Structure 1
Amino acid sequence: MRFRLLSYPLVLLAAACVPLGTPITNPNVPVSQQKPAEYYAERTLRYQDYIYDPSVHSVQCYVPTAQVNDIFLPPIVPLTQEQPVTLEFDVLGEQAPRLTAKLVHCDLSWTPSQLIDTQFLDQINEFTLTNYQTSVNTKVPYYHYTLQVPRVKLSGNYLLVVQNQAGAPLLSRRMLVYENQVIAQLQPGILAGGLDARYAYQQLNFSINYSAVDLVNPAAEVKVVLRQNYRWDNAHYNLTPTFVRDAERVLQYQYINYENAFPGLSEYRYFDMRSLQAGGLGVARLLRQGTPTQVELVPEATRNGLAYNQYVDANGQRVFQNREYGNGAYNADYAEVTFNLQAPRPALGPVYVFGALSDWQLKDEFRLTYDSVRAAYTGHALLKQGYYNYDYAVAPARAGVAPDEIFFEGTHQETENQYDLLVYYRPPGVRTDLLIAYQRLDLNQR
């Protein structure tokens, strides 16, 4: 998918992950006076995209590109790493803390591998973040940090961790380094079953050709992960080949019974907050007198049961920008954004604003409160100026299940979504899983 913001010059930054906002427990209390949620109380390192400190906002982890339209490339690079991964984030406040970063090599399951630092790095595994700049003419002061991740020597999963002087983690981000030892092909599939399901879900089939390399017991030892829109929360794991063609040295994965299907959902909702002088698309009202500026979004309704509506979206991502002054890295201000979702009755579980702005997690600061008098959900979050995609998700009844986005958004086979395939293998004698192939597909590309 190629996404373009027209009419205005932009400094475009790729994004993969963004926890934003100070938790809102009482909508009548300003954001700056709210207490941090329990989400931030745990400082034990988690091997996932995570924020450990409420002063950290607007995290971007991406691969820079010279092509203006490719603004949301996730942190996935080939082993050659001509364009290394870049990390950017803000620390709110008027002082710049001294920060360092490190890399942790992880196995397929995102647990630390048995490798020592010198086996995947040519330098000391501690990088001081010296590239930072204070915000310019913003109501909410912050420091903007940038780090270019050093090159590594092995493919696989890596966790990038930023720490304070005391060694406590402030944020962590997953990144991937791959090498194309085998050939992976990803393509749309055909679903069996009723028409309702066929027009609601998207099926992906794929194959792995290992004719150029000797793999030991590939049918059992090759592991794959299939993701939708670069998300980890609803990724498909433990997929086994449906056909093993030993003569051609090919593994085929062709499913017909929804083992590998994703709900197509709808194109993501959006609002344009690149200007705090005049309301953009999706903005109903601006209140500029206070600190921070208050932004109220247009009231919205459920889309479940409606016909598919085609338009170009950003697949749940966002980009930071100040329309008046440019350079969203340090010219963009923060605003308290109010979401309004009309609902005649409450959902069966808690409702959240969901997307890259929430790290694809159900965070307390994005939880909405139901008002039975207004028959609507409302909530607030502190967000940096920019253009945002998002949707509304209902928390699942049990742990380990992806949030229910269909309840308010509906689902359609025609929806444009990006898919990528990760192929892992642990060679004999190697103490970790290598990422031996990577392939992506833009389904229903416009």
Structure 2
Amino acid sequence: MKQNIKYTIFLFLFSLLGFSQIQELNPPDYIKTITFKGNTPETQLPILKLGEYVILEFDALNGDEADFYYKIDHFNYDWTPSALMKSEFLDGFDNQRIRNYENSYNTYQIYSHYKLTIPNAQTKRLKVSGNYMLSIYNNDDALVFSRKFMIYEDKVNVGVNIKRTRNIEFIEEKQRVDIIVSSESMQFNNPKQTVKALIVQNNNLNTAISNLKPLYTIGNKLIYKYDNETSFWGGNEYLYFENKDVRAANTGIQFIDLKDLYHNYLFTNVERINKPYTYNPDINGNYVITNVDADNPNIESDYVWMHFSLLGSDYLKDKTVHIYGNFNNYAIDESTKMTYNAAENIFTNTLLLKQGFYNYKYIVVNNDYTFDEGAISGNYYQTENNYKVIIYYRDLGARYDKIIGIGEGNSVNISN
């Protein structure tokens, strides 16, 4: 509760000052399985066309059938509050109660499943493109959690090409994103000042490259062909497990046990950093809720204690290791921290997760909360990664940053 109160004050001060960057707030322990998507199967970081809908779903495990409310705010490209009044970007009202919820059925863990769709009868339309934050509040008007999303206008063509880095030092480990922005109907005024690009790898804003300016222009084309500025670590394919049948050991699960809830014990993983790259199809850190016996997985899928384990090494035993993935919006906190057992030379942790198919990996987190995603898994230029490029534009004299186009590329066919 103290964290939420502090965050609300924090957000209020940001809106007054108008220059500080806002961050998402992660939920308390009783809020689980937040899925946030547009009209694609991908969860988290919805990027939708102006006029399309966005869906937020989450579970409350306290069994109180509590009331939750939502608010929507608009932001500039750098996630500072925009100058727009709410009536300028929203048709209708926010600060409304989420009316659509159902209680779990035939599960050991009791929970309520909430679903919010925007637009709806109260919030009829989001009028402009740009960055948005959807914030969820409880009955006491305390902020519970928040999530970012983006709305774009289809005004420019965004060509995306994935190549190996030109930096010989990292040619086996990094991937480079080349971008060409063009439009037949739109004239760019002073593009080095008015146009900015954001590159997101695997829907993860934590590692996004922002505020990119065009390297040069050819006619009405903006060219981004940097050597280092648009390079990402390749990482490695995610590990995965599936427990859609909670009563049997499925993919990646060594054995199961039933106590107060089901417990699934995963096979012990090992470091992959010094091993050759092996293609292992994944869903780029994402997850999908599934249940082999359910008509409605949203309320019939149970919660399971998942037991993770990682074999230690001389390098790792003095490091801080965390479990990493989109199952919690790539958050790093005490719940994802692994505990080292020196007697067995193994790192362990247990997470309460809803039945489904999950991607995850292990990362090393430094004392300053920077992290090394490749320290355990390695970095390989061959790794299949998804990249989204988001183009922002603020014309001279304009009061907010539009998103005028998006492009998407994949490194599955990476070239030199």
Q: CA deviation at 1:335?
A: 1.2
Q: Do residues 192 (structure 1) and 163 (structure 2) align?
A: no
CA offset digits 1:211-232 (Å, max 9, x no partner): 5223321122211111100110
CA offset digits 1:3-26 (Å, max 9, x no partner): xxxxxxxxxxxxxxxxxxxxxxxx
> Which amino acid counterpart does residue 344 of structure 2 have in structure 1?
R
Q: Do residues 255 (structure 1) and 226 (structure 2) align?
A: yes
Segment of structure 1 superposing worse, 348-357 or 132-141:
348-357
Q: 1:73 to 1:352 in 2, by over 3 A?
A: closer
Q: 1:56 to 1:73 in 2, by over 3 A?
A: closer
Q: CA deviation at 1:308?
A: 1.2
Contact 2:51 2:126 in 1 (8 A): no
2:254 to 268, 277, 284: 284
2:14 paired residue number? none
2:396 to 397, 409, 428: 428
1:3 paired residue number? none
- Pairwise mapping of residues 76-91 of structure 1 onto structure 2 (< 5 A)? 76-81=47-52, 84-91=53-60
CA offset digits 1:404-429 (Å, max 9, x no partner): 11111011111111000011111233
Q: CA deviation at 1:118?
A: 0.9
CA offset digits 1:251-282 (Å, max 9, x no partner): 211122x2211111111000112121101111
Aligned partners of 1:241 and 1:379: how far apart in 2? 44
Q: CA deviation at 1:41?
A: 8.3
1:156 paired residue number? 130
Q: 1:118 to 1:193 in 2, by over 3 A?
A: closer
Aligned residues: 397
Q: Do residues 442 (structure 1) and 410 (structure 2) align?
A: yes
> Which amino acid counterpart does residue 146 of structure 1 have in structure 2?
K
Richer in strand (by share): 2
Aligned partners of 1:445 and 1:323: how far apart in 2? 34
Segment of structure 1 superposing worse, 149-158 or 202-211:
202-211
Aligned partners of 1:40 and 1:170: how far apart in 2? 6
Contact 2:33 2:328 in 1 (8 A): no
1:404 to 372, 375, 378: 372
Aligned partners of 1:157 and 1:313: how far apart in 2? 28
Aligned partners of 2:374 and 2:137: how far apart in 1? 37
Aligned partners of 1:240 and 1:208: how far apart in 2? 11
Aligned partners of 1:271 and 1:387: how far apart in 2? 6
2:25 paired residue number? 50
Aligned partners of 1:72 and 1:166: how far apart in 2? 28
Aligned partners of 1:147 and 1:434: how far apart in 2? 25
1:168 paired residue number? 142
1:334 to 303, 306, 309: 303
Aligned partners of 2:327 and 2:317: how far apart in 1? 22
Contact 1:342 1:377 in 2 (8 A): yes
CA offset digits 1:182-240 (Å, max 9, x no partner): 2221112342233x622211111001224522332112221111110011001012323
Q: Do residues 204 (structure 1) and 177 (structure 2) align?
A: yes
2:197 paired residue number? 224
Q: Which structure 1 residue ranges, 5 or more long, are not aligned?
A: 1-35
1:234 to 201, 204, 207: 207
Aligned-pair Cα RMSD in Å: 2.1
Q: CA deviation at 1:48?
A: 3.5
2:95 paired residue number? 126
1:177 paired residue number? 151
The 3-state SS of whatever aligns with 2:294 is: coil
The 3-state SS of whatever aligns with 1:444 is: helix
2:15 paired residue number? none
Q: Do residues 109 (structure 1) and 78 (structure 2) align?
A: yes
Q: 1:433 to 1:268 in 2, by over 3 A?
A: same
The 3-state SS of whatever aligns with 1:313 is: coil
CA offset digits 1:318-374 (Å, max 9, x no partner): 011222224220101111111100012335531100010131121210100111111
Contact 1:117 1:125 in 2 (8 A): no
The 3-state SS of whatever aligns with 1:51 is: coil
Contact 1:347 1:394 in 2 (8 A): no
1:414 paired residue number? 382
Q: CA deviation at 1:311?
A: 2.4
Aligned partners of 1:394 and 1:92: how far apart in 2? 30
Contact 2:129 2:152 in 1 (8 A): yes
Contact 1:336 1:382 in 2 (8 A): yes
Aligned partners of 1:377 and 1:146: how far apart in 2? 36
1:21 paired residue number? none
> Which amino acid counterpart does residue 298 of structure 1 have in structure 2?
F
> Which amino acid counterpart does residue 178 of structure 2 have in structure 1?
N
The 3-state SS of whatever aligns with 2:304 is: strand
Segment of structure 1 superposing worse, 40-49 or 105-114:
40-49
CA offset digits 1:30-77 (Å, max 9, x no partner): xxxxxx9x9778543664343243211100000235xxxx45584111
2:35 paired residue number? 60
The 3-state SS of whatever aligns with 1:235 is: strand
> Which amino acid counterpart does residue 156 of structure 2 have in structure 1?
V
Contact 2:50 2:128 in 1 (8 A): yes
The 3-state SS of whatever aligns with 1:278 is: coil
Contact 2:291 2:301 in 1 (8 A): yes
Richer in helix (by share): 2
1:272 to 242, 247, 250: 242
- Pairwise mapping of residues 380-391 of structure 1 onto structure 2 (< 5 A)? 380-391=350-361
